Amino acid sequence: MKKLYIFGVGLIGGSIALKARELNIFDEIIGIARVGGNSLVSLVRSGVLDSSSTEIDKNIKEASLIIIATPVAQTKLILKKIEPFLQANTIITDVGSTKSNVMSEAKFVLKDKFSQFIGSHPIAGSEKHGASAAKKDLFQDKNIILTPNKENSLEQIKKLTEFWELLGGIVTNMQAKNHDQIFSTVSHLPHLLAFSLVNLINNKEDKETLLNFAASGFRDFSRIAASSPEVWKDITIQNRESIIKDLNLFQKEIIKLINLIDIKDQRKLEDYLKLASITRKDWTEES
């Protein structure tokens, strides 16, 4: 009997459960929630999950696939709890937005069972979070990054790749360090800038007036500031080296822009803006 265990049935974990149920990939889908977290009773009643629990016990040895879809800071503790029960045929993955730390923790905790762990990162997030935001087609035509380790067998990698492809994803393998550098620039930094912009307004005395007059530009740019603070706190700390490097580079761009505006250099300012505009247009036309 094929069983799927999902730790953290929120946006990502819930979307996995919905699609896996529709495709009938597993005989049973079990959700694990943290104590004091949101109850999964409604998902059991609706048939998305076959059962749910806040406890980890020996039954997890029956899992074919274990997916850790919690904030990344919880991954190490979950791995510690499941390690004693893991059977050789179980594959474990996560869906975190940082990978180097997760891979290191998995190697430390799982030891000789590390070969059963393959990192995953579905590039299919949303500013909405929680099980109510889950969508069965969330992964359709979305990039899924795998960060396999040298101890994984080709069969294990193939099985996890086929799983994500069944959910609609486009799978690419990548080294964990490269992953973290890339996503610091194209995901983590933009989220932090959105949070910072909203907090800039929070710190102004005329906050309410500013928000009343904010139009689509501000709405589009700040949308991701509605993302889960817990998730992004963890991501920021876990990938701090790459993020700090990018924040320093962005600071240099801000200083460059300040100087162009201050000296009223219209030609250089227009060239600066034009370069960004062309890059953005070219990218959207290609994608």
Predicted pLDDT of residue 12: 93
Q: Are residues 75 and 192 in the same domain?
A: no
Domain boundary among 149, 174, 199: 174
Residue 36 has pLDDT above 60, yes or no: no
**β-sheet bridge partners, residue 170:** 143
| Residues 157/99, Cβ–Cβ less than 8 Å | no
Position 260 confidence tier, pLDDT thresholds 50, 70, 90: very high
**Residue 130: predicted pLDDT:** 73
Neighbours of 201 (CB within 10 A): 15
Instruction: Show the tokens assigned to 140.
Output: 């359709």
Higher pLDDT, 45 or 272: 272
Based on the fold, state whether residues 235 and 269 are members of the same structural domain. Answer: yes
Instruction: Tell me the residue length of the chain.
Output: 287
Question: Which tens digits make up the pLDDT trace of 101-153?
Answer: 999 999 999 999 999 999 999 998 776 777 778 899 999 999 999 999 999 99
Question: Is there a single domain that holds both residue 163 and residue 186?
Answer: no
pLDDT at 34: 74
139, 174, 209 - which closes a domain? 174
User: What one-character DSSP code corresponds to residue 153?
Assistant: -
Confidence of residue 248 (pLDDT cuts 50, 70, 90): very high
Kindly state the DSSP code that residue 70 receives in the 8-state scheme.
S
Specify the range with the lowest mean pLDDT, choosing from 38-42, 72-76, 100-104, 241-245.
38-42
Strand order in the sheet with 28-32: 51-53, 28-32, 3-7, 65-68, 91-94, 117-122, 143-147, 170-173
**Are 156 and 249 found together in one domain?**
no
CA–CA distance, 152 with 177 (Å, rounded to integer) = 17
Mean pLDDT score, 246-264: 97
**In this predicted structure, what is the pLDDT of residue 57?**
77
Taking alpha carbons only, the member of 198, 88, 199, 186 closest to residue 145 is 186
Residues 20 and 115 in one domain: yes
When mean pLDDT is compared across 14-28, 79-93, 126-140, the lowest value belongs to 126-140
Whichever domain contains 147, its CATH number is 3.40.50.720
Q: What is the pLDDT of residue 272?
A: 96
How many structural domains is the chain composed of?
A: 2
Q: Based on the domain organization, do 31 and 78 belong to the same domain?
A: yes
**pLDDT the model gives residue 56:** 84
Looking at the structure, tell me whether residues 99 and 194 fall in a common domain.
no
Quickly state the pLDDT bin for 35 (edges 50, 70, 90).
Answer: low
Residue 91 sits in the same domain as residue 149:
yes
Residue 59 confidence (pLDDT): 86
What are the pLDDT digits (tens) for 167-215?
A: 999 999 999 999 999 999 999 999 999 999 999 999 999 999 999 999 8
- pLDDT mean over 5-9: 94
Q: Which pLDDT does position 268 carry in this prediction? A: 96
Q: Which pLDDT value is given to residue 121? A: 97
Domain that holds residue 267: 179-286
Query: Which ranges in 130-185 belong to alpha helices (H)?
Result: 154-166, 176-183
At residue 287, the pLDDT reads 66
- CATH of residue 203's domain is 1.10.3660.10
**109 and 67 share one domain:** yes
- Backbone phi, psi, residue 27, to 5°: -75, -35
Last-in-domain residue among 122, 141, 174: 174
pLDDT of residue 1 exceeding 70, the answer is no
Domain identity same for 40 and 145 = yes
Q: Specify the pLDDT at position 31.
A: 93
Determine the average pLDDT of the residues in 210-237. 92
CB 75 within 8 A of CB 105: yes
Residues 204 and 119 in one domain: no
110 versus 57: the higher-pLDDT residue is 110
Residue with tokens 């904010």: 214
What confidence score (pLDDT) does residue 37 get? 53
User: What is the pLDDT at residue 286?
Assistant: 76
3-state secondary structure the chain: CCEEEEECCCHHHHHHHHHHHHHCCCCEEEEECCCCCCCCHHHHHCCCCCEEECCCCHHHHHCCEEEECCCHHHHHHHHHHHHHHCCCCCEEEECCCCCHHHHHHHHHHHHHHHHHEEEEEECCCCCCCCHHHCCCCCCCCCEEEEECCCCCCHHHHHHHHHHHHHCCCEEEECCHHHHHHHHHHHHHHHHHHHHHHHHHHHCCCCHHHHHHHCCHHHHHHHHHHHCCHHHHHHHHHHCHHHHHHHHHHHHHHHHHHHHHHHCCCHHHHHHHHHHHHHHHHHHHHHC
82 and 213 fall within a common domain: no
